[in-house]
Amino acid sequence: MRTEQWELFKKVAKSHRAERVPLALIMDSPWMPGYLGINHLDYYFDPEVWFESNLRILKEFSEVIIFPSWWVEYGMAIEPSALGCRIHFAPGQPPSQLPGLFHLEDVDQLSPVDPHADGLMCAALHRYRMQKKRIFEAGYTLPVVTARGPLCSASFMRGLTTFMIDLLDNPDGVHKLLAFITDATIRWLQAQAEVIGGTVEGMFILDDIPGFLSRQHYLEFAHPYLKKIFDAFPPSWVKVYHNDANIEPFLEDLAGVGFDVLNWTHKVELKEVRRRINGKLCLMGNIPPVDIATRGTPEDAKRAVLDLLRDEDRNGIVLSLGGGVSPGMPGANIQAMAEAVGEINSK
């Protein structure tokens, strides 16, 4: 994103007020290589392909805040690769992960993660280090560091079904695992901020797995670890949390985690979320990412934006999808969303 786009996003996130509604879309490798017609392996491992791909998207959708901006990611593989999971790459899709922690009690044997040396964290930091000057010279900024959340990473290490069983069968072991991952996540975010430098003023945590939990389990296993991560960074930072699973059981509790912006599922209506958080968070959503944004026409996408914003108080809203940009979403639908937001902002 450009600096002025970040300033607008930051203003809405912190003050809930701005002269216009921002449009911000989470764009990453599940969508980008397919849209551009390039091989995923080239996107991940050829720095020139990666740079030119991101530059093309930023220019083509110049009215959209591409969030989190020049994201160095390998699908969901960065954190699992440093935590001992086997990563499988394929030409036409993001990589997959296989569990690597077969016995929960082995957490005690794990050495601390070093982001500067371990797995794909090292590769991502090198990409930022080598490309940041070029990004800045092209007129863009790098304001946000990013990580998968602790339950997401735990589910990769153990496998989702096994991890869900762990919550009931061995809660003490789960707490040890989550504490280990939380510390690794904080170091990973700190390493990104160190390598990128002074432009960093925000963080983005993605963790859908709390949406599989009851409120009781959320409060025990998710809330304290997410809060520790957000609290580890300056309060002036813009802090964004993505969870497009079922947040309804603990929706009121999210305002106490320590983030500013919630990107949530379109299945919980904007009015309902606003009522239950009582103005305590900026909301980033809430267009259906598949049924409307991907499978619908440009007219459908534009109408959905206009319908969402027409009768709403526009303060405290970053217009987005109820999740990220899905594979196959047409560029025409993104342009249609931008046109609709432009019409709203002109009134």
Residue 313, pLDDT > 90, answer no
**CA–CA separation, 276 and 204 (whole Å):** 23
| pLDDT for 26 beyond 90 | yes
What pLDDT score does 311 carry? 75
> Identity (one letter) of the amino acid at 74?
Y
pLDDT in tens, 262-297: 999 999 999 999 999 999 999 999 999 999 999 999
| Residue-level pLDDT at 262 | 98
- Return mean pLDDT, the chain: 97
Q: Across-strand partners of 238?
A: 202
Q: What residue has token string 């929706």?
A: 251
Report the pLDDT averaged over residues 247-251.
Answer: 97
Q: Where are the domains of the chain?
A: 3-253
Cα distances (Å, whole numbers) of residue 211 to 25, 151, 208, 222, 224: 21, 10, 6, 10, 15
Q: What is the mean pLDDT of residues 126-133?
A: 98
Architecture of domain 3-253: Alpha-Beta Barrel (3.20)
Sheet holding 238-243, edge to edge: 144-148, 202-206, 238-243, 261-264, 282-287, 317-321
Distant-in-sequence, close-in-space partners of 83: CB < 8 Å, separation ≥ 6: 100, 101, 113, 119, 153, 156, 157, 181, 184
Q: What mean pLDDT comes out for the span 234-256? A: 97
d(CA 204, CA 282): 14
Mean pLDDT across the stretch 215-231?
A: 98
- pLDDT confidence of residue 91: 87
Tell me the mean pLDDT in the region 182-192: 98
Dump pLDDT digits (tens) for 82-112: 999 999 999 899 999 999 999 999 999 999 9
pLDDT tier for residue 310 given thresholds of 50, 70 and 90: confident
Mean pLDDT for 145-166 is 98
Query: What is the pLDDT averaged over residues 125-153?
Result: 98
pLDDT of residue 109: 95
